[in-house]
Every structure is written in structure tokens, then in C-alpha cells.
A and B are shown apart, each in its own frame.
Chain A
Amino acid sequence: MAKVVLKLGDDVSTDIIYPGRFMATVLPSETSQYAFADLNDFNTKLKSGAIAPGSVIVAGRNFGCGSSREQAASCLKAPGLVVVARAFARIFLQNSINLGLATIICPTIEATEGDELTITRTEVVNETAGRHFVIVPLPAARQAIIEAGGLIPYTRQILIAAHRR
């Protein structure tokens, strides 16, 4: 089971996830210190190591709208967070798949902070509320990137294959 550590609404922008003033920091190993920098309580907990890997952020529709900044995905990936949202904005979802951030599309998800979730291949079970929510699979076109472990290893495979031909 995984605990919901942050509950957010619709249209959470990348300016909330990773404010623009920290964009000069690019290394994925360094970005998590600024994750949700303006949500002081959550950012403080994350930095202090009080949030276990595998913990879940639950959000509404259009999560990650706005900027293409990849730090918004890398800052959540490094601490091992999982994002369950009713829907994601295009560029954020793509960045997450490319970097291997766990993103779950769950159009009817209902949960509050502190709830315990079990995530299977097909559904999110809110164990606290005793309710089941169906998962929409990530786009089929992206499966090869996911299976390769992200876009860097996937691109590397293609380069090597092209070179061998």
C-alpha cells in the first residue's frame, strides 16, 4: 500500500510543481529540493526525507499544464513519488514517460491526504475508503519507451540498431 501525501485539484501548473525561478537548476539529482517550493509544508517534508518513496500525489484534471520544463517531472521522480491524476497535460505526461516518473491516469479517482492506496495494473484501490477506481492505460504509442526504461535508453537502442545495419 502507498499513502496519499498530497491532494491537489484541477489544472495544477508546472509553475506550482517547479517554480520558474529555480529553472537554472537542471540536474535531476538536484531538482527535488524545489518540488512544490511554494507549498511550504509539503516541500519541507519532502526535503527532510519524511516522505517515503512510493508515496502518492493525487490530483484532478490537467495536471502539469503550462511550461515544458522537465524539472517538473524530474523533481518528483527523484524522491520516488507516484502521481495519480484524473488527466494529465500533454507535455508533462510525455516528460514523465520519458524520465520514468510513475504517472497513473485515473479519471474518477477520489482520495484525501492520509488515505492508503493499492495500485494494480488496472485499478487504484482506495483501501481507506473501500473504493475501486479504473485506470486508463498510458498511450499505446508510449509503451516501447516505458518498456525500455525511458527515452534515453530507448533512443540509445535505436542508435545502436541503426549503426549495426
Chain B
Amino acid sequence: MGMTVAEKILARATGQVAVHVGDVVEPRVDLAMSHENAALVINQFVEIFQGTGLPVRLWDPGRVAIVFDHRVPAESPKTATNQKKVRAFVTDAGIVRFHDVRGDEGGICHQILPENGYVRPGAVVVGTDSHTTSHGALGALAFGIGATEMASVWALGRVLNLEVPATIRVHVAGAFQPFVGPKDLILHLVGLLGAEGANFKVIEFHGPTIAAMPTSGRLTICNMTVEAGATSGIVPADAETERYLREEAGVSEAPVHVVPDPDAQYTREISLDVSDLPPQVACPHAVDNVKPIDAVRGVPVDQIVIGSCTNGRLDDLEAAARILADKKVARRTRLLVFPASGRIYRQAIELGYVAALASAGAVVMNSGCGPCLGVHEGALADGDVALSTTNRNFNGRMGNPKSEVYLCSPAVAAASAITGVITDPREGRH
């Protein structure tokens, strides 16, 4: 019986010829990522060793990455103290892949890992963040875990008692219309599957649309597979993956290509054609409450956010800058932009995107998660409506349960910033 990409990766990571859905495996981990919640991982990690007489030691400091992004710069003394504790641990433990609050090396973990070449095709990547699914964009099996599970990985270097997940195969064909792209595809797919539709399952992407999609877009679609409950999203490595690793991530060695067997078993197969797909919007208060833009066109918005691990990459900022060039953000709304990493921020400055956005009235913030999870850098008032390129719109997600959040692409966000109401970016541009 053939294997899916997830099965092949798990077979390799457990030294077996083959594994199949339902097998219980303990794969070795190639990369273990945490952000500020490393503060909790450290507590749990130390507790594991209590009473054992064994030294408190990471299984492999070279395979641990820590990236500060959720609350940068620290929004409170409590966070600052957590970050200080993590810095001390990083130094003591000899962790080199540490990305502090810096404009040169810092950024959002789900951009920092790929752009630094930490993620390789065929790897097992775990992260204490649900959007760790992003890294499947490079052909890795990447999934989110909790802090205690990460502490166990730090100690043992493997994930314990993992059931090999079933895979949903998604085939995507067709060329996107202008101003429609990967975000619209993944919103449409999440709407189709529902919030639980891929729970405990992997989504494997195939087809000409995926083949033609740059890694930045693949990161966007894999990022949001977790919004359908998926364990992982995977784009099998191909020529584009090689290009990205070589040109953008500075990886010289040729990657392994893990592709599914022709007779791999899938739990469900979905075929999509994006040729006629209009811009998609997820409406309050559920990510799977997805509608074509016509259904929400004209809804007034108080704050617009462009950025995040989903849509803060260079092509996202470019799309927004092109739409907003020589235009103005409507007086009734506020536009906040969060580049996904310091590197992207600097590239966006060099290419003039930051100037175009700021001249239009956007506030270009530091790289980080910003207001996505309702911590800081853009709180919403009671009754406010936000339109955001982030990935979640659950009630209270952006910090105020008396506000509403719509999710969309950078193009929809930028077009809506000009009008102050949800706007189809294709309007007047045909």
C-alpha cells in the first residue's frame, strides 16, 4: 500500500520502511520552535528532571529555535520578565537559533524559520503555536503542540505516542483572477471543510495552481489549514521549493523531494478550480463563516490590519502598496501594517512599499504578531469592526469581545482602506 507525504515523512523519522494511518509512532524531531511561551516550556522542562538526579539538558540545542514575536516589544513588565527568563535560558542552554526583538534578525516565527533555512523538505517540525502548519509549505510535516509536549520534545528529541494521521488530498487548478490569490483559496477551502473538517488530518496540496504558487503563498495556505482543524498542511517539495531554499533561505544543498506514492490512500479528495473564484471574506465570529465579497461589500470598517504570519510577506505588502500608491486611507478608518520579519521590513523600505503605505496614511508597525491575538498594538473599541489579513476572527480574538473581525486578503484590505468599507479590489480595475 502506498504512502502519503505525511506517512513517508513519519516512516523516515522513525526508521521504518512504511507506516500507515492509525499506527502509533514516535518520530524524531528535526526542528522544535517556541516563541514567548518558551517561558512555560522552560518551567515544564525543568519539572521533568526533578527528582531524577539527571542534568537538565536539551536533547539537541541545535534543533531548538526560539523567536520572540507575540508581544514585541514587550507590552508589559510581565512579558518583559518572561522574555528575560527565556534569554537567560537560551544562553545557558547554548541555543543559537534565537531571534530576539531586533530589526535585523527578528520577526514572526512562521517567517523567520523558512527565511533562515531552518525548515527543510521531509523534516518533522513541531512548534508551540497552532500555525506551525505554515512550514508544510516547504514539504515538511509541521504541527502545533502545547508547552508540556514541547518540554518532552526538548528532553527526548521525539514526539511520543503520535497516531499517524489520515490525509485529505486537495487538487487545485486554474489561474487566479487579478486581485485574487492564495488567501482567497484557503478561506474558500476552510469554508468548504468547516472548522472541524480536517481535525486530526493532514491536508496535502497538489495541482497546477499550487505548482505555479510561490512559497510565500504556500505559507499562507498551509498556515490556515489549522483553521479547518488540520494537524498539518503540506505542499510536496518541488522546483519552487528548491528555488526558495536556494535564493531566499541561503540553503546550498539540494533538498530531498518527498512526494506521495501513486497508490497512496486518502480519506477524502477535493478538487477545486480557482478560475472564477471571487475574493473571499470570513465573517464574524468564525473562520469557516466564509462568503464571497459580494455578500459583505459596503460594510463599514474602523480598523484594517495587514500583516501576520498569514499575510505579512513581501508580496502581500507589494499588493497593498500598489493599490494604495497615491491614494489615501479613508478618514473613517485606521490602517496598521505589520511586516512579517525585519528582513521583509527592510526589503519593503528599499522597494518603496513602506513609503507608499505610510504616505497613504498607514501606520507601519514593527514586525510581530501585533493585534492579531488581542494583546497590544491596535486595540478595538466596543462596537468596532476590523478587517484583517490575519487568520482568526473568533469572538474576542483581537482583544475585545464587543468588536467584530472580518478576514480577507491584502488586496481586499488595501482596497477597503481607501473607501473605509469592505471593497472588492477588482472594482474599476478591469
- The answer to whether A and B assemble together is yes
Q: Give Cα A60–Cα B48 distance, bound, in whole angstroms.
A: 34
Tell me the complex Cα distance, A20–B400, Å. Answer: 11
Q: A20-B397, A68-B144 are in contact. List 17 more A-B contacts (CB 8 A).
A: A13-B394, A15-B392, A16-B395, A20-B375, A23-B36, A38-B395, A68-B129, A68-B130, A70-B40, A70-B148, A89-B199, A90-B200, A94-B149, A145-B160, A156-B49, A159-B54, A160-B54
Contacts of A73 in B (CB 8 A): 146
B161 touches A142 (CB 8 A): yes
B396 touches A15 (CB 8 A): yes
> Does A83 reach chain B (CB closer than 8 Å)?
no
Q: Which residues of chain A have a CB within 8 Å of any CB of chain B?
A: 10-11, 13, 15-16, 19-21, 23-27, 38, 61-62, 65-70, 73, 87, 89-91, 94-95, 98-99, 139-142, 144-145, 150-152, 154-156, 158-160, 163
- Rounded to whole Å, the gap between the CB of A32 and the closest CB of chain B is 15
Does B149 contact A23, Cβ atoms closer than 8 Å?
no
Taking Cβ atoms with an 8 Å cutoff, the residues of B that contact A are 24, 36-37, 39-40, 43-44, 47-52, 54, 70-71, 76, 78-79, 82, 127-130, 132, 144-149, 151-152, 155-156, 160-163, 195-196, 199-200, 229, 231, 286, 373-375, 392, 394-397, 399, 401
Asked if B373 and A87 make an inter-chain contact with CB atoms under 8 angstroms apart, the answer reads no
Once the chains bind, are A20 and B48 in contact (CB under 8 Å)? Answer: no
Report the separation of the CA atoms of residues A13 and B51 in the bound assembly, to the nearest whole angstrom: 36
B196 near A21: Cβ-Cβ < 8 Å: no
Instruction: Check A24–B76 contact: CB distance below 8 A.
Output: yes
A22 to chain B, nearest CB (A): 9
User: Which B residues are in CB contact (< 8 Å) with A69?
Assistant: 37, 146
Which of A62, A89, A151, A159 is within 8 Å of B52, CB to CB? A159
Shortest Cβ distance from A66 into chain B, in angstroms?
6
Are B229 and A26 closer than 8 Å at their CB atoms?
no
- Complex partner residue of B146 from A13, A21, A38, A98, CB under 8 angstroms: A98
Does B48 lie within 8 Å of A152, measured CB to CB? yes
- Chain A residues near B392: list those with CB within 8 A: 13, 15, 66
Contacting pair B148 A65 (CB below 8 A): no
Most B-side CB within 10 Å, residue of A68, A140, A144, A160: A68
Once the chains bind, are B395 and A94 in contact (CB under 8 Å)? no
- B147–A70 touching, CB < 8 Å: yes
Q: Nearest CB to that of A145 among chain B residues? A: B161
CA–CA, A13 and B47, complex, Å: 28
Known: A23-B375, A70-B40, A95-B149. A151 touches B160 (CB 8 A): yes
Once the chains bind, are B196 and A87 in contact (CB under 8 Å)? Answer: yes
Least CB distance from B158 to A in Å reads 10
Given contacts A68-B130, A159-B49, A159-B155, contact A95 B148 (CB under 8 A): yes
Distance to closest chain B CB from A158 (angstroms): 6
Assembly CA distance A67 to B199 (angstroms): 14
**Given A62-B199, A159-B156, A24 contacting B162 (CB threshold 8 A):** no
A15-B395, A90-B199, A158-B156 known; A67 vs B373 contact (CB < 8 Å): yes
Given contacts A16-B395, A139-B163, contact A23 B196 (CB under 8 A): no
Please state if B156 and A20 are interface contacts (CB–CB under 8 Å): no
Verify B396–A23 contact, CB threshold 8 A: no
Specify which chain A residues have a CB less than 8 angstroms from the CB of B130 in the assembled complex: 66-68, 91
